[in-house]
Structure 1
Amino acid sequence: VSKLIRENEQKEAEIFALKCQVDGEKKIEDNEKDEQIVQLTEKLGRNEKERFVDREALCKAQEELSDLNEKYLDLQHEMAEQKARYDQYMLGMYKKGQEAARFEREQELDYLLANAKNAKKVGVSLTELSRKLSRTEVELARWQALRLSETYNSPHSEPPTTDQVPVLKIRNNHHSLLDPTAASEADVTLAFVRDAFFHLLTDPVDREQHVRALLKIFAYPETHLQRIKVGLEAFKNIKIKKVFVDAK
């Protein structure tokens, strides 16, 4: 009996020791969990504070963006007005240049007619006068090219409508660049195309200028431009008789 009592007491001591060990480990785990909870709570508080700061920064950034957008719209409107005024100014200058070139041409023609018979006496070369007159026409054609390239090839302009496309406006019309009745833009375009094509065939000095001006007006796509390059290289092989087969 005493042996059983001792064994029982020993088992109770072992159980008590094991219980103390388990309680100690549990207490340590509880303390660690409490510490983790405290840390997570502090972290959550910091995150909330940071989010609040971020929200304030976001609201401020949105307000600044809205202000910048308003300023951009105002600036865009102002630039559009300036461009419209500039276009009007350039159109006025173009018309003045057209009038000046027409006046100069009339003077040259009058002088040429008046001195045709006395050219040798006054020492004036009719060839020189003709070349000067041709240069005047070329300069006017360049004026036309500048104005029309601004109108039809500006990167900020709207796409041309059917009424604005020069090719669609070509018809049986014989306006000259210097014709005062060529008031509409379509007539000016047609006159420019006619005269530029004429100088392309007759003026070897500035031939590239006339080709470039015509390509700007017609605004061919890149695929067509590649074919045009090939065609220009073979242009010298054109058969004149076939061109003027219907000529009287």
Structure 2
Amino acid sequence: MSKRLILGIVGAVVLLIGWLSFHHRGSPDESSSTRSSGRRGAGPGGAVPVVAGKVEQKDVPIYLDGLGTVQAFNTVTVHTRVDGALVQVNFSEGQDVKTGDLLAVVDPKPYQAALDQAKAQAALDQVTLKRQADLRARNVIAQQDYDTAVANAQKSKAAADAAQVNFDYCYIKSPIEGRTGVRLVDIGNVIHAADQNGIVVITQMHPHFRYVHATGAKSVPNFERRRRKRWLESSGARPRKYKHTR
């Protein structure tokens, strides 16, 4: 047997032994992953980690999913309460306003003149009433004349109060705290108390929006029954049964 043939046989045997050893042990990546899995406890023979907890009895919240709508807690359309030309707009669209903030001004000049006239008449009637009271105390005038002076003084005072109210209405203020919408009228327009659109819409932001859910018909009775039960338990009230008769 030649030397070259012997070396070929030996080389073939060495390659066969190496191939068998490699496939018996597995690839290096596979062996390392197997060893790491065994250390984590996921492989055969490894410890499986668990989390222990104390058994407790608690209420489980019940959730109902469904479509719904979102509505503001309060929405106010601000209107004028007197007729006149709009001379001022003191808000911007999307502005946050507080209760009592000045939003707009109606031309106050006619109402200021009416107020001054009513106050002057009320002052004159008060002077007349005082004079009539002195004359009545000396029996110079009849009781009827004195009663007429009293009525005139009261009527003129009421007219002055009404004129003051109309004058105050020229200054339109926010009735609630919220956020303004689109301005519905511009400066220079004559606005009336009977207008349908108003000046601006204010949407209350706080308290937060309330969610009106349109839950399924089958879930509503169970939901309402549980809600009433919780209310009765918290309030201490007892449910009452009513018998309907025809």
TM-score (norm: length of structure 2)? 0.26
Q: Which has the higher contact order (CA 8 A, sep 6+)?
A: 2
Task: Indicate the structure with greater strand content.
Answer: 2
Normalized per residue, the structure richer in helix is 1
